[in-house]
Structure formats: structure tokens, C-alpha cells
């Protein structure tokens, strides 16, 4: 099967997570992705370690986000090398950036200049808090965007204080949103011949993540969300929605009428309102669920159409037949070293995209790309 974006050329001028993750998605869909990075050290993400593990001198984080890419090393402050990148961009379909506002302009690669020089080009930009305004100069970092966005007050129980996500959720979401806009711009270009400048930010991504609950807040007299005192999983949903400790693990309970649960758990809830008396009902459910093992409760609840699931850690998940059936993992090779990572989280005509190559070594494709695109004839 020919990949949907086969034949498109994407220039990834971004660093860290958000921009490169967008380029990764386009590469998974078949686009050719050339990563432009500084000579020697390359993308800073190469040394941004999540643990004390690296693979061939690069962090596992870099490997996760930069598979299927070629590396072109260039110092954008060097006139000759900058001109090489401009010539490369002249033959591209998409350019992705995540500089701080104003930096790309100072380097001569601002979206306005690129679009003026190449009207068919689609430029994708990610900032921390938008292109201008009082927050534009703040560091565009994931944890800070989470903090500013208000999202931390949705996690954890009532007395926990703000709880961040255990993931770089702002970066990843901003990357996904940028891909959505880039694909829409490419469709429009196919109709009109005109490219576009697509923009988003970490803050915009975090606000969009909260659109469900933020809309409630905006139309609910401005009342703040109130997290449950225990087993909180959604600040606006009634009991028993939450995650509960069992005698040997944890059990997640989704939308279930309290009346049904009352019978199956042998509780005496009476006329207690699952909204108004959420904490009391949850406390009663929690006490009862703690008396049996997770598997025992699932055997009771699932046959009675109660939406529940065991809370799994990664080793347990990876061992499950249901996970293995999805074929979401792949092992790539770089210089004989194996790198196990994820695959694209979608299928097209029942086929999941397969990565061609592991993340590149800095500048490993520079000479070949320069020759292919005629970049040395300056």
C-alpha cells in the first residue's frame, strides 16, 4: 500500500518534543522527513534523558520522537549553510518550527519570509503561549504550560494540591494539533495551490484538552470544579466514577448507576444522591471494594454490565493478549543496536504504518542530501 503522504517532503527545524513529534506523525504517514539540526550536538533532545539509559549515545526520548527521519547538519548562523537550508526548503512541502517568537525571524527563516518566497509552502509553528502578548517571552516548557493552563487542578483528590500529568501532555497534544492543521492546509493547497502558516501553542493545546470541563465552568456561573475527596477521576462526574483500591490492586469504575452497584456490592445507599453526596457514596464504595481482590470484583461486576477495568502497570499491560494483538510495538536497528519503540496509533485499510529507520545520527545524511538536492553548488 502506498502511504497517504508518500511523495511529500517535510523539513523538521524543531527541537525537543512538540515540533519533532508533529514531524514524526507526518513521517509515519509516509512523508519524507529531513531533520535540520546543529552540527555536532544536534537537537537538544538527544541529551534530554528520562532515565539513565541511552541508546547509541542518544536519549530514549530522542529515539521515540525521531524515527523515520534523515539528519541534515547545518549552522543557521553560517551564511553558506543557511543558504543550503533555504534551497532545501524551496523544494519542500512542509516546514515545522518551534522557536520562541521572533527567533526564526532573526535567523531569516520566519514564516512570513518563507511563505513569501514559496507561496505553496505549508509552515507549521508551535510556541509556548502564542506569537505575541504578555506571555510570549515565557519559556515554552511542558510543565509550565500545564501549570498556567489550570489543568493541574483537575487531577488528584481534593486535598492533594495541584497534580501535574505524568506525561509531556502539552508537547504531545500541540504536535497532534499542528499535524491536524498541516493536513488541512495541504488539502486546501491541493484545491487552490496556496500554502499556509499553521500555528498553535502549548497553552492552546492544554486549553483545548479541557474544552469539556471548561465549557461547563463557563456556563455554570463560574463555579470552580470540585474534586472528590477520594477516588477522584473526574472533577465533574458523580459517584462512583473513580479509581479504587482493592485488597490486591486497583479497580477503575466508570459510569454506573449507584442503584445497580448497591445491589452488586451489597451496600445500603438508600436515597443518597450520587452528585450531592458524592464523597459519602465513594467512601462506602471504597470500603467495600477493599475487601476483595481486583479479579474477584471484575468477575462479579463485568457480567452484570458494570463498566470497570483493572488498573495495569506497564509490565502487566505488555503481557496481555489484548495489547499484543494490536501490534503497537516495533524494534528498529541503528548500527546493529536494537531500539524498541511504539508504532503509529492508527491503521489505514487495516494496515498499521511500519517505520523504515531508527532515529538518525547527527548529520549522517548531510552529504547525500546536499548532493541529491544540489545544495553544494553555491
How confident is the model at residue 51, as a pLDDT? 85
User: From the candidates 217, 234, 263, 365, which is the catalytic residue?
Assistant: 234
Per-residue DSSP letters for 32-60?
A: EEEEEE-TTT-SGGGG--SSS-EETTEEH
Coil vs helix vs strand at 59: strand
291 DSSP assignment: T
Domains of the chain, first to last: 9-209+337-372 (3.40.50.10540), 242-319 (3.30.1540.10)
Residue 88: CB partners within 8 Å, gap ≥ 6?
A: 11, 34, 36, 72, 369, 373, 375
Among the listed residues 319, 355, 361, the one whose alpha carbon sits nearest the alpha carbon of residue 337? 361
Query: Are 231 and 286 a contacting pair, CB within 8 Å?
Result: yes
234 catalytic? Reply is yes
Give the containing element (helix H, strand E) for 12.
Answer: strand 9-12
Q: In terms of pTM, does the model score above 0.85?
A: yes
**Nearest 5°: phi and psi at 141?**
-115, 145
Looking at residue 49, its pLDDT comes to 83
Residue 378 above 80 pLDDT? no
pLDDT band at 52 (very low <50, low <70, confident <90, very high): confident
Closest CA to 8 of 40, 41, 33: 33
**Cis peptide leading into residue 25 (ω within 30°):** no
Backbone angles phi, psi at 311, to 5 degrees: -85, 115
CB 58 within 8 A of CB 359: yes
Q: Which residue has the cell 486535598?
A: 159
Least confident of 48-62, 84-98, 139-153: 48-62
Average predicted confidence (pLDDT) for the chain:
95
Within 10 A of 336 (CB to CB), how many other CB atoms are there? 6
Beta-bridge mates of residue 73 = 37
pLDDT digit string, tens, across residues 291-326: 999 999 999 999 999 999 999 999 999 999 999 999
Is residue 108 within 8 Å of 117, Cβ to Cβ?
no
Residue 174, φ and ψ in degrees, nearest 5: -60, -40
pLDDT tens digits for range 262-300: 999 999 988 899 989 999 999 999 999 999 999 999 999
Give SS3 for 69. Answer: strand
* Bridge partner list, 313: none
Amino acid at each position: 500500500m502506498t502511504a497517504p503522504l508518500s511523495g511529500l517532503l517535510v523539513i523538521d527545524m524543531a527541537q525537543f518534543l512538540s515540533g519533532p513529534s508533529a514531524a514524526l506523525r507526518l513521517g509515519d504517514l509516509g512523508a519524507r522527513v529531513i531533520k535540520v539540526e546543529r552540527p555536532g550536538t544536534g537537537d537538544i533532545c538527544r541529551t534530554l534523558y528520562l532515565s539513565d539509559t541511552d541508546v547509541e549515545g542518544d536519549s530514549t526520548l530522542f529515539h521515540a520522537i525521531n524515527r523515520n527521519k534523515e539528519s541534515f547538519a547545518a549552522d543557521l548562523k553560517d551564511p553558506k549553510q543557511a543558504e543550503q537550508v533555504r534551497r532545501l526548503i524551496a523544494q519542500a512541502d512542509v516546514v515545522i518550527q518551534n522557536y520562541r517568537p521572533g527567533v526564526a525571524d532573526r535567523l531569516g527563516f520566519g514564516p512570513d519570509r518563507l511563505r513569501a518566497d514559496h507561496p505553496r509552502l505549508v509552515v507549521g509553528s508551535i510556541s509556548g503561549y502564542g506569537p505575541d502578548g504578555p506571555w510570549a517571552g515565557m519559556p515554552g516548557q511542558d510543565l509550565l504550560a500545564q501549570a498556567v493552563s489550570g489543568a493541574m487542578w483537575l487531577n488528584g483528590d481534593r486535598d492533594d494540591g495541584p497534580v501535574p500529568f505524568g506525561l509531556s501532555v502539552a508537547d504531545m497534544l500541540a504536535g497532534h494539533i499542528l499535524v491536524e492543521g498541516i493536513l488541512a492546509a495541504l488539502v486546501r493547497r491541493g484545491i487552490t495551490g496556496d500554502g499556509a502558516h499553521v500555528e498553535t501553542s502549548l497553552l492552546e493545546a492544554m486549553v483545548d484538552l479541557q474544552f469539556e470541563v471548561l465549557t461547563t465552568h463557563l456556563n455554570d456561573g463560574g463555579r470552580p470544579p470540585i474534586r472528590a475527596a477520594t477516588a477522584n477521576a473526574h472533577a465533574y462526574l458523580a459517584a462512583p466514577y473513580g479509581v479504587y483500591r482493592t485488597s490486591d490492586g486497583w479497580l477503575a469504575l466508570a459510569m454506573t448507576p449507584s442503584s445497580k452497584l448497591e445491589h452488586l456490592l451489597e451496600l445500603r445507599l438508600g436515597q443518597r444522591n450520587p452528585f450531592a453526596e458524592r464523597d459519602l457514596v465513594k467512601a462506602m464504595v471504597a470500603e467495600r471494594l477493599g475487601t476483595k481482590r481486583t479479579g474477584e470484583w471484575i468477575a462479579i461486576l463485568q457480567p452484570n454490565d458494570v463498566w470497570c477495568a483493572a488498573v495495569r502497570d506497564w509490565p502487566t499491560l505488555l503481557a496481555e493478549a489484548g495489547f499484543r494483538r494490536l501490534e503497537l510495538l516495533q524494534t528498529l536497528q541503528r548500527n546493529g543496536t536494537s531500539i524498541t519503540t511504539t508504532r503509529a496509533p492508527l491503521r489505514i485499510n487495516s494496515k498499521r504504518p511500519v517505520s523504515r529507520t531508527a532515529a538518525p545520527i547527527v548529520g549522517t545524511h548531510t552529504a547525500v542530501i546536499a548532493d541529491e538536492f544540489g545544495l553544494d553548488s553555491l
